[in-house]
Structure formats: structure tokens, C-alpha cells
Amino acid sequence: MKTNQTIIIAMTAVLLLTLAGCQEPKGYLELKEPKPELRGDAIHWTVKGPVDASGNPIVLEEVK
């Protein structure tokens, strides 16, 4: 019985110490600016391959 109590006390102490290091939640998500290379005319990928901003497929050149 003492072993179970010791394990429970140790786990509780670890959880409390872990939670003590957490920051206070702000209640909302912070939006960040996208990276410059991801804005504008970036190539978007679909299951069938890359497409441009308007959704037209891009033909890839084969590597020799």
C-alpha cells in the first residue's frame, strides 16, 4: 500500500511542477505573418502534383 501512495504522490508532484512552468493562457490564438516565400505566386501542391495560384497544373521538367 505504501508503494502505491508513494507512486501517486511522486506523479502528482511531477505534474504540479510541470504545470507550474506553463504560461498563463491568453484565451485566443495569435496570428503570425506568413513567411515571404509563402506569399504571392508560390507553387501549391495537390495530390496530382503542383498547381499555380489559379489552380492550373504545372508540368515539371524531367531531371536528366
pLDDT tens-place string over residues 15-59: 887 877 666 767 777 778 767 665 666 667 788 888 877 778 888
Please name which of 56, 57, 52, 55 lies closest in space to residue 41, comparing C-alpha atoms: 52
Backbone dihedral region for residue 52 (phi beyond 0: left; psi -120 to 50: alpha; all else: beta): beta
Sorted by where each begins, the domain ranges of the chain are 34-64
Q: Is the pTM of this model over 0.85?
A: no
* Owner of C-alpha cell 513567411: 35
Decide: residue 2, CB within 10 A, 0-12 exposed, 13-18 middle, 19+ buried: exposed
pLDDT of residue 4: 87
Confidence tier at 7 by pLDDT (50, 70, 90): very high
